[in-house]
Structure 1
Amino acid sequence: MSPSWRKPAGMIVILLLIGVWCAVIVSFSSIVGAWHPAAQLVFYVVTGIIWITPLKPLLRWMETGRWR
């Protein structure tokens, strides 16, 4: 059984997703930095969890070749 090209491609997409998401969140740092520390904590926890949402279909595609 030969390795699938989907796994390396999926890993690259995951790394790009993380990089883009980090750049987007960091672009808000000047605004978020002025907030109360508790509000900052909530913001960073929520945004730290949100990026995981598109991973399930991507990981499914990497394993099976289907999005659904």
Structure 2
Amino acid sequence: MTPSWRKPVGAFVIIALILIWCVAVASLSRIVGQWPALVQMVFYVFTGIVWILPLKPLLRWMETGRWGLPKG
């Protein structure tokens, strides 16, 4: 059985997504830093969780070669 090329490509995409997301959130720090502390906390908790959403289809593609769930 030959190894799949999808896993290394998927790992690279995951790392790229994390880096892009970190830069995007960090670029907002000047604006977010002016908000009340509780609102900042909610913002950073939300942005710390929301980056995980695109990972499920990506991980499914890495394992199966399909983006969506199988029909049937």
Report sequence identity in percent.
65
Higher helix share: 1
- The CA RMSD measured in Å over matched residues stands at 0.5
What do residues 18-58 of structure 1 show as CA deviations (whole Å, max 9, x unaligned)? Answer: 00000000010000001111111000000011100100000
The gaps in structure 1 that reach 5 residues or longer are none
SS of the residue 1:9 aligns to: helix
Aligned residues: 68
Match of 1:29 in 2: 29
The TM-score, its normalising length taken from structure 2, stands at: 0.92
Structure 1 Cα separation of the partners of residues 3 and 38 of structure 2: 46
The higher radius of gyration belongs to 2
Q: List structure 1 segments (4+ residues) > 4 angstroms apart after TM superposition.
A: none
Residue 2 of structure 1, CA deviation: 1.7
The gaps in structure 2 that reach 5 residues or longer are none
Partner letter of residue 11 of structure 1? A
Partner letter of residue 7 of structure 1? K
The TM-score, its normalising length taken from structure 1, stands at: 0.97
Partner letter of residue 33 of structure 2? G
